[in-house]
Amino acid sequence: MSSDSTATPPASGTFTTPPIDVRWGDMDALRHVNNAVYFSYFEEGRVHLFAAMGLGAAAGRYGVLAHASCDFLRPLLYPARVVVGMKLLRVGRTSLELDCWVADAGDAATLYARGRNVLVCTDGATGRPVPWTDADRRALDRCFAA
């Protein structure tokens, strides 16, 4: 990840996925969702975000994960439905930082986990970081509109 000294103020809203069903196979031996699965839920959130932005194979650019962290707040038990919420914390020249959480789909105040993701905009052909375009920044503004 490159340092981004040209950070711009992020939009103030949140982006939320459609409900995600917790699968039987997401559980561990203790009968709650395995800790690794939360990272899959965060990934699902990023997939929805980048689809909404128009970033991906068609654009030839991808958001590559440079950092992921997760704090596990309460056990998540099967069956359940969750949503992944994200707040844009920082947009730099080539990277962005997201506050992410997994919440109950029926009660957004019930948080199961909270994390942080840093993503780098990457050229699909070279694998090298590339700056966010003005169109990307406008798409982020739309996705995170208050």
CATH for 135: 3.10.129.10
The string of DSSP letters for the chain reads ----TT-BPPPSSEEEPPPEEPPGGGB-TTSBB-HHHHHHHHHHHHHHHHHHHT-BTTTTEEEEEEEEEEEE-S--BSS-EEEEEEEEEEE-SSEEEEEEEEEETTEEEEEEEEEEEEEEEEETTT--B-PPPHHHHHHHHHHT--
Backbone angles phi, psi at 76, to 5 degrees: -110, 120
Q: Is residue 3 part of a domain?
A: no
Q: What range does the domain containing 73 cover? A: 14-143
* pLDDT attached to residue 56: 72
**Residue 87 pLDDT > 50, yes or no?**
yes
**Residue 2 pLDDT > 60, yes or no?**
no
Of the chain, the percentage scoring pLDDT greater than 90 comes to: 80
Q: Is residue 1 part of a domain?
A: no
* pLDDT attached to residue 59: 77
Rounded to the nearest angstrom, the gap between the alpha carbon of residue 5 and the centroid of all alpha carbons in its chain is: 22
Express each pLDDT in 93-113 by its tens digit: 999 999 999 999 999 999 999
* pLDDT attached to residue 55: 83
* pLDDT attached to residue 7: 45
The count of structural domains within the chain is 1
**Residue 1 pLDDT > 70, yes or no?**
no
* pLDDT attached to residue 12: 67
Q: Is residue 100 part of a domain?
A: yes
Considering just the CA atoms, what is the radius of gyration of the chain in Å?
16
What value does the mean pLDDT of the chain take?
Answer: 90
Express each pLDDT in 33-83 by its tens digit: 999 999 999 999 999 999 998 887 777 888 899 999 999 999 999 999 999
Mean pLDDT confidence for 104-132: 95
Torsion sign over Cα 127, 129, 134, 137: positive
Give this prediction's pTM: 0.89
